[in-house]
Amino acid sequence: MEAAYRLETTWNPEGGPNGRFTFSLFNLSDEALTGFKLVYTSLTRVIDPKACENAVFLRRNANFHEFAPPAGLSIEPGASWIFTVSGLHRPAKHCTDGAKSAYVTLADGKHVAIAVSDLLLEGRVSEPPPVLLPEGRLELPFALQPWPAEIDVIPGDGFPVVLYPAEGSSKDELTTVSTALALFRRLFESGHAPFNLSVSPQGRPVRFAHDPSVAKEGYKLTFSTQEVTLAYSDAAGRQYGLTSLAQLLHGARSEPNRFRFPASGTITDKPRYVWRGCHLDVSRQFYPVADLKRLIDILAWLKLNIFHWHLTDDEAWRLEIKAYPTLTTTGVLRGPDEPLLPQLGNGAEPVGGFYSQDDVRDIVAHAAALSVEIVPEIDIPGHNSATLIALPDLTDGQEAPDSYHSVQGYPNNALNPAVPLTYEFLEKVFDEMVELFPSEYIHIGGDEVANGSWLASPLAKKLMEQEGISGTFALQSYFLKRIKDMLTARGRKLAGWNEVAHGGGIASKDSLLMAWENPQVGIDLAKQGYEVVMTPGQAYYLDMVQAEAFQEPGASWAGTVPPAHTYGYEAEGDFPEELKDKMKGVQACIWSEHFLSRGYFNRLVFPRLPAIAEAAWTPKAKKDWHRFSAIVPLSPKL
Ligand code: ACM
């Protein structure tokens, strides 16, 4: 059913310190609309409640906004109510900076959906969308992505119908081929199978050769018209060799005028970095298990080996913890009448979603079979609005409400290092996590604790006195050292965001930090002895807009990130030679604030995710943007 109301929003750079929104609420129902309140969610927040005209600001929580019309207003069928809001915390820059969702609350308390439109720039014409991906150019006709370290092959005239394990292959080898085939079938449902297990006279055998001299995760393919040999030293390398064969055959079959299958020669391949990651924020938006499995399939196809699963944030705690069931009831459900209010595209209907421990086991096993390790993240101590709403005993009851705000606008959202229950809670959470996740690292977040956090908490003040420390970040460091001890006691290493180093940080041994704020931060962390993964927002945050144009969707606080920039960025660039061994690799980050649908997800994540995969794998001297552009249209999407 079509919505009975529609909200349209325009933004004008004039009219306030950060411009002005004009909202038009159309009544498309058959009855006059009176005595109601309007709610919308928008990342462009209102900070001056008085700076609006023809409406009354009622309340805001992060990006949830509630307004009332002027007293007595009635919107007749077919008419609209127009009001303006100019007390904004920043200017709007893109079409996704307006209302992401809206609803009305009627006099009887009922909530009714409102359709919303993307933000329009007032009084300007839209520029045509830019071309972000050139047609590309191939020097060698092979559909490999990421491009291999060494390739010295002659293209064949035709290609084998299918590849099959040579006679005498072990059960283990047959199983690997079956896994590679299943991956291909999931990614390209209607594509012709590259492998089968039966000896096929019109196909070509693949002979496996275990060879300890092949690099870790590497492989060597030797082609002839009689057979292909695949040499490897570990399971990941064997899988990647098969993936390359599947890519070669898929390319040759799908676009025979551009891509071919090798008739002779060798491909000798290995990754540039050991950490080739992709992060996904499942808190802001929930992704069903099937979507996660498909994303993991895509990572495997691109030879990425880490899935960093950002399971908790202010907006929801998505991981079932048996000791604390309210985390995934109260802590996930966002709705007009729930403790967690609608945010980021939520409307009149409550929305939830979480991963049961059975779901987690299923996803971890799915990933492991594809040589993808899952690094789970519980983001602490900041970004915990949902946790604190689900478990109010974790707060210091004497702390003044609204005593500090996160950069996303959440009040008092950090776990309190001076509340003893905080540690009991986290011990139990980690106990359950280590049973679920076999990963070397547990990621504990550590990002964006607001300066000023806990300073109005009497318990925190007392603890700081006792410890002889002062200030938010000294207290954060005290807290994170205790967290590090908890992980060490469970045999796990600590991963975190770059702010873990603030206020004195933690022991650098077995601590890996992700440099997201900017590239220089990564070098500074390496100097302090931390291992580093480079995830700078300016190149690797896939929620960033890809062009300047107003109608480009996405965030822009880290700048504009065209695919060519993501591809060309050299994370290792300014690392001094003596610190390069601290730089373990690179990672894409998929923050979900703007990903209200698969359409937005695919538009922003591709082709930048494959671009990062190539940056993670392919030696610098072999990177080639035009070759990448020619091949990437073959990449699967979500
Ligand atoms: C982050 O972007 N807050 C890690």
DSSP for 22-51?
EEEEEE-SSS-EES-EEEEEESS-B--TT-
The average pLDDT across 405-433 equals 98
Do 388 and 534 fall into the same domain? yes
Do 287 and 314 fall into the same domain? yes
In a domain, 351, yes or no: yes
Residue 484 CA to ligand 1 centre (angstroms): 20
Residue 514 CA to ligand 1 centre (angstroms): 9
In a domain, 620, yes or no: no
Name the DSSP class of 621: G
Q: Which atom of ligand 1 is nearest to the CA of 498?
A: 4
Domain end marker among 269, 297, 332: 269
Do 253 and 279 fall into the same domain? no
The average pLDDT across 64-86 equals 98
Do 183 and 158 fall into the same domain? yes
Give the model's pLDDT for residue 129: 74
Domain end marker among 245, 269, 293: 269
Do 407 and 535 fall into the same domain? yes
Distance from C-alpha of 559 to C-alpha of 538, rounded to nearest angstrom: 6
Mean pLDDT of the chain: 97
Is residue 124 very low, low, confident or very high in pLDDT (cuts 50, 70, 90)?
Answer: confident
Do 318 and 251 fall into the same domain? no
User: What's the structural domain count of the chain?
Assistant: 3
pLDDT in tens, 425-448: 999 999 999 999 999 999 999 999
* pLDDT at residue 402 tops 80: yes
Do 287 and 209 fall into the same domain? no
Q: How far are the Cα atoms of 267, 303, 609 from residue 264, in angstroms, in the given order?
A: 10, 24, 31
Do 302 and 373 fall into the same domain? yes
Strand partners, 112: 104
The CATH number given to whatever domain includes residue 241 is: 3.30.379.10
In a domain, 363, yes or no: yes
Residues near 485 by Cβ (< 8 Å), separated by ≥ 6? none
Do 412 and 354 fall into the same domain? yes
pLDDT in tens, 207-261: 999 999 999 999 999 999 999 999 999 999 999 999 999 999 999 999 999 999 9
The CATH number given to whatever domain includes residue 334 is: 3.20.20.80
Do 321 and 246 fall into the same domain? no
Do 499 and 386 fall into the same domain? yes
The CATH number given to whatever domain includes residue 39 is: 2.60.40.290
Give the model's pLDDT for residue 130: 82
In a domain, 87, yes or no: yes
In a domain, 129, yes or no: no
One DSSP character per residue, 465-485 reads: HHHT--SHHHHHHHHHHHHHH
Give the model's pLDDT for residue 125: 75
Measured by CA distance, the residue closest to atom 2 of ligand 1 is 516
Do 279 and 265 fall into the same domain? no
Residue 296 CA to ligand 1 centre (angstroms): 21
Whether the model clears a pTM of 0.95, i.e. scores above it, the answer is: yes
Residue 473 CA to ligand 1 centre (angstroms): 17
CB 30 within 8 A of CB 56: no
Beta strands in 180-289 (DSSP E): 204-210, 219-223, 228-232, 262-269, 275-281
Is residue 548 very low, low, confident or very high in pLDDT (cuts 50, 70, 90)?
Answer: very high
In a domain, 634, yes or no: no
CB 37 within 8 A of CB 55: no
HEC string of 295-335 equals: HHHHHHHCCCCEEEEECEECCEECECCCCCHHHHCCCCCEC
pLDDT in tens, 468-517: 999 999 999 999 999 999 999 999 999 999 999 999 999 999 999 999 99
User: The domain containing residue 236 runs over which residues?
Assistant: 150-269
In a domain, 145, yes or no: no
Q: Ligand 1 pocket test: which of 315, 378, 497, 561 has the largest number of ligand atoms within 8 Å of its C-beta? A: 497
Give the model's pLDDT for residue 574: 85
In a domain, 476, yes or no: no
CB 166 within 8 A of CB 208: yes
